[in-house]
């Protein structure tokens, strides 16, 4: 299943809660509505933060955790996203996303390139995201989502103090070694903090390693699922972990 989160793609874009916790609850409800009690959860970028929140709120629903260039693992994030989270962005974004400027794609691509985004999957995916902000509802949802996790100084939400809990869940971390959005050092640090986790760094890949080398990504994901046993965390074990806290 590859859902469009609320406020994204073809999903509704109402005024509402765009926090990680709300997204995690929405994914939980979707999986349950489709008749599944649990699943391997894969999250990219913002989706990585949602995946970690899902595993934290509903550990019984998460068989495995796969984090791909994930947010929520450190402060640093590309200047472009920090700027979009600043006060007043809701007035600037409609101008930046005006139809005439979207049609002048070369100018936009050149501007994105100044923020360290080279041609290839990174720019293609960011262009698709930019093009999706064609109407005010999509722009509003984007800003509300961004401001729950990013401010002018960088990422404001961090799961680093709870990563020890992910040791109960088979965890795969995938990153591009040239990620211009979220540095690969975040993935390396998370791997060191999550007992038993696996780290795969894709060479010459940016923020979308699954696009840069889809065959390797698919093979890595399938192998990870086939060679690991789904997590089985009951309430007593979760309570024990929370009371013990992170190891020194």
DSSP character at residue 27: H
Active site residue 207: yes
Instruction: Tell me the C-alpha distance between 140 and 133, whole Å.
Output: 9
Contacts of 70 (CB under 8 A, 6+ apart): 43, 44, 45, 47, 48, 49, 51, 52, 173, 182, 186, 187, 190
User: Cβ atoms within 10 A of the Cβ of 53, count?
Assistant: 23
Contacts of 232 (CB under 8 A, 6+ apart): none
Active site residue 45: yes
Active site residue 179: yes
Rounded to 5 degrees, φ, ψ at 198 are: -120, 135
Pairing outcome for strands 154-155 and 150-151: antiparallel
| Catalytic residue (one of 8, 186, 207, 210) | 207
| Catalytic residue (one of 8, 63, 122, 179) | 179
| Catalytic residue (one of 44, 45, 63, 122) | 45
Catalytic site positions: 45, 179, 207
């Amino acid at each position: 299943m590859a859902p469009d989160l609320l406020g994204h793609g073809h999903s509704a874009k109402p005024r509402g809660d765009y926090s990680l916790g709300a997204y995690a609850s929405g994914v939980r409800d979707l999986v349950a509505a489709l008749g599944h009690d649990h699943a391997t959860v894969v999250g990219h970028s913002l989706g990585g933060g949602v995946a970690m929140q899902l595993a934290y709120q509903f550990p019984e629903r998460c068989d495995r955790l796969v984090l791909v260039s994930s947010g929520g693992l450190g402060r640093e994030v590309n200047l472009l996203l920090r700027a979009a989270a600043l006060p007043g962005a809701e007035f600037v974004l409609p101008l930046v996303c005006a139809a005439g400027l979207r049609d002048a794609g070369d100018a936009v691509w050149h501007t994105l390139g100044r923020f360290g985004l080279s041609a290839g999957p990174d720019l293609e995916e960011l262009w698709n995201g930019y093009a999706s902000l064609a109407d005010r509802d999509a722009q509003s949802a984007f800003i509300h989502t961004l401001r729950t996790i990013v401010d002018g100084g960088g990422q404001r939400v961090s799961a680093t103090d709870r990563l020890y809990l992910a040791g109960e869940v088979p965890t795969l971390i995938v990153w591009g070694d040239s990620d211009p959005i979220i540095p690969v050092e975040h993935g390396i640090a998370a791997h060191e903090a999550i007992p038993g986790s696996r780290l795969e760094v894709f060479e010459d890949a940016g923020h979308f390693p699954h696009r840069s080398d889809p065959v390797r990504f698919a093979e890595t994901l399938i192998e990870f699922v086939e060679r690991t046993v789904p997590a089985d965390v009951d309430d007593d074990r979760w309570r024990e972990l929370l009371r013990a806290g992170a190891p020194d």
